[in-house]
């Protein structure tokens, strides 16, 4: 995969020949981020998909602690000052799920070509971002915080109960809390298969080599 981060970290992946007649897809991802968030950021979703599809791109590294996401220029790409964002020859998108659907449809990979199959992929992208991610993030943030009050513990318990009600029927490759997954062998097996994929290993290794912890 052809990558570059403002010239400093180019060559994170083994290179392949790109068609230089066409403008390179630009992906805006982190170059520096809070140490707790490092390895859990949403740009990994897009970078992993690009690696799976073997799509060439240029990676533009953004320093979150230096407030590079808060500039007027970046807000034109991502109005809510979030990572990731892409610029594909003037087609600008933010929101990781929207980016994934766009890239999959462009490449004709990772998504069915028929309307019914595509609708199911879009459905589960919406579910992942709206229904599933919030309670799992809430558990993660509560675990990161130093708030061990009765109220915080009760809130965490409610979110964990929700997760247990749904994990039995869902496969979630991004869930990292082993205590949540322990009762669900099939879910844990699916997660391990995801994380053993060569494209994921290349993606996370390049990410960890490139992204600095603040």
Burial 136-153 (b: 16+ CB within 10 A, else e): bebbbebeeeeeeeeeee
Q: Domain 1-111, CATH 3.40.30.10 — does that match? A: yes
pLDDT one-digit tens code per residue, 102-157: 999 999 999 999 999 999 999 988 988 888 788 777 777 777 777 778 887 788 77
Q: Please choose, from the candidates 102, 82, 70, 90, the residue with its C-alpha nearest in 3D space to the C-alpha of residue 30.
A: 82
Structure tokens of 132? 């599933």
Distance CA 66, CA 85 (A): 18
Q: Quick check: 43 pLDDT over 80?
A: yes
Instruction: Place 21 in a pLDDT band, splitting at 50, 70 and 90.
Output: low
pLDDT one-digit tens code per residue, 159-185: 777 776 765 545 444 555 566 667 777
Angle at 72 between CA 70 and CA 74, to 5 degrees: 65
Q: DSSP letters of 78-111?
A: -TT--S-EEEETTEEEESHHHHHHHHHHHHT-SS
pLDDT one-digit tens code per residue, 66-103: 999 999 999 999 999 999 999 999 999 999 999 999 99
Q: Where are the domains of the chain?
A: 1-111, 115-195
Distance CA 12, CA 129 (A): 28
């Amino acid at each position: 995969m052809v990558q570059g981060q403002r010239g400093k970290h180019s060559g994170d992946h083994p290179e392949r020949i790109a068609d230089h007649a066409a403008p390179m897809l630009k992906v805006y991802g982190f170059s520096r981020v809070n140490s707790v968030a490092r390895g859990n950021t949403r740009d990994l979703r897009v970078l992993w998909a690009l690696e799976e599809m073997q799509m060439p791109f240029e990676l533009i590294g953004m320093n979150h602690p230096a407030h590079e996401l808060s500039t007027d220029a970046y807000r034109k790409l991502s109005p809510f000052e979030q990572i990731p964002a892409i610029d594909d020859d003037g087609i600008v998108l933010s929101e990781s799920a929207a980016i994934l659907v766009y890239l999959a449809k462009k490449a004709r990979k990772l998504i069915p070509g028929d309307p019914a199959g595509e609708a199911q992929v879009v459905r589960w992208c919406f579910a992942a971002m709206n229904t599933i991610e919030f309670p799992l993030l809430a558990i993660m943030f509560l675990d990161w915080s130093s708030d061990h009050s009765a109220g915080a513990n009760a809130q965490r318990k409610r979110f964990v109960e929700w997760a247990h009600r749904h994990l039995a029927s869902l496969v979630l490759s991004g869930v990292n809390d082993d205590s949540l997954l322990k009762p669900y062998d099939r879910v844990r097996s699916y997660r391990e298969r995801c994380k053993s994929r060569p494209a994921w290993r290349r993606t996370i290794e390049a990410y960890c080599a490139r992204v600095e912890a603040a």
